[in-house]
Amino acid sequence: MTTRQAPRALTDDEAYALLRRHAGHSSAFLALNEGNRRFRADGIDGFVPYREAGRRHLFELGGPVCAPADQERVLTALLDEAGRAGRRVTAVQLGREAAELHARHGFTVNQFGASFSIGLDGYSLGGQRMVKVRNMVNRARREGVTVTEVAAEQRRTPDVAGTLDAIDRAWLRGKGRHVKELDFLIGERGGPGAPHRRLFTARHEGRTVAYVSYSPVFGTRAGWLYDLTRRLPDAPPGTVELVFATALQRFQEEGCGWLHLGFTPFVQLRPETCAFGPTSSVLRRALELLAAKGQAVYPAATQESFKLKWRPQVIEPEYLAFQHGVSPGAVWRLMRLTKAV
């Protein structure tokens, strides 16, 4: 997207500082993913993460990162700039307030899925409701699985990086030869945000068999986001659960308030969540169909089941918003951008 007298581009450190000051969405750290661009409005302390697709589409991620009083101005500036470039804007993974903001600007808004969060104060894996989780964690321990946090400087060494790369390749192969690794709406191990993430690995019989990375979350529910999970196909049952439980305990010991399980598309869809603005019944039915039969596109039911078994106390809707209404071109470009097709 071309700009006229565009403000100076943000450095990675400046973008991170803005996230610390203004971000509240649990997945806002995805703004630092490699490949994302950052739109700035002149004179405003903030930015909008986005990517372009084709010649006519711009995909905004998560909404404006700025003070609440500046959000209207930033979004208006983005829409003006996109219009001058001949692009229509689609916003992805919006929280409720950002969705309402876009609805006020004439966007068609539909619920896209939900995010899940655990308040760590007083949280415990004890009790009858958590018995299945404890059984999986204990099974991995009996198999001899151990979990270690790997510091950022260690992750950059050739041996560790090569091991993690090998797990990535094996994980993807295990999904099937036609499956692509999703992009844009999930975390990554490298990129500009790598120094700020935390990574826990699981070892079994002398080799690394899985890892989970966590990204920082800012705002009123500050904490960590369960971001990226990879495991070898032959990792013992309960390995990921043991990594998760170990990290959760570590975060509690550090006084962390929240552990966010992240966004899952096509789940927890409820029509009443979009009562604040115009919505598309056609898109709603398509999303409901994907929820029921779309495992080939994304294993949403499996992801939701994993997250629900940890008994998150907060489940919040997240939204898609289309400028000038939902168009087949925008939907297709979004699926291509995320590598869903």
Rounded to whole angstroms, the Cα distance separating 80 from 59 reads: 14
Give the DSSP H or E segment for 341.
none
Tokens of 227: 């971001």
pLDDT at 157: 95
- The DSSP call for residue 52 is E
Question: Buried b / exposed e across 256-267, counting CB within 10 Å, b at 16+?
Answer: bbbbbbbbbbbb
Please provide the size of the chain in residues: 341
Rounded to whole angstroms, the Cα distance separating 328 from 276 reads: 24
Tokens of 33: 């993913």
Sequence-ordered list of residues with C-beta below 8 angstroms from that of 69, at least 6 positions apart, any chain? none
How many other C-beta atoms are found inside a 10 Å radius of the C-beta of residue 339?
14
Q: What is the pLDDT along the chain (341 residues), one digit of tens a residue?
A: 554 566 788 999 999 999 999 999 999 999 999 999 999 999 999 999 999 999 999 999 999 999 999 999 999 999 999 999 999 999 999 999 999 999 999 999 999 999 999 999 999 999 999 999 999 999 999 999 999 999 999 999 999 999 999 999 999 888 765 555 678 889 999 999 999 999 999 999 999 999 999 999 999 999 999 999 999 999 999 999 999 999 999 999 999 999 999 999 999 999 899 999 999 999 999 998 888 887 767 788 999 999 999 999 999 999 999 999 999 999 999 988 887 76
Look at residue 338 and give its three-state secondary structure.
Answer: coil
Look at residue 86 and give its three-state secondary structure.
Answer: coil
Q: Tokens 């490298």, residue? A: 190
Rounded to whole angstroms, the Cα distance separating 341 from 338 reads: 8
Rounded to whole angstroms, the Cα distance separating 318 from 97 reads: 10
Tokens of 117: 């969060």
Sequence-ordered list of residues with C-beta below 8 angstroms from that of 128, at least 6 positions apart, any chain? none
pLDDT at 321: 97
Q: Please give the domain boundaries of the chain with CATH numbers for all domains.
A: 12-115+265-299+315-337 (3.40.630), 118-261 (3.40.630.30)
Rounded to whole angstroms, the Cα distance separating 285 from 279 reads: 11
Ramachandran region, residue 324 (left: φ > 0; alpha: ψ -120 to 50; beta: rest): left
pLDDT at 299: 83
Rounded to whole angstroms, the Cα distance separating 315 from 264 reads: 11
Whole-model pTM: value is 0.93
Angle between helices 71-84 and 96-104 (to 10 degrees): 60
Q: Based on C-alpha coordinates, what's the Rg of the chain?
A: 20
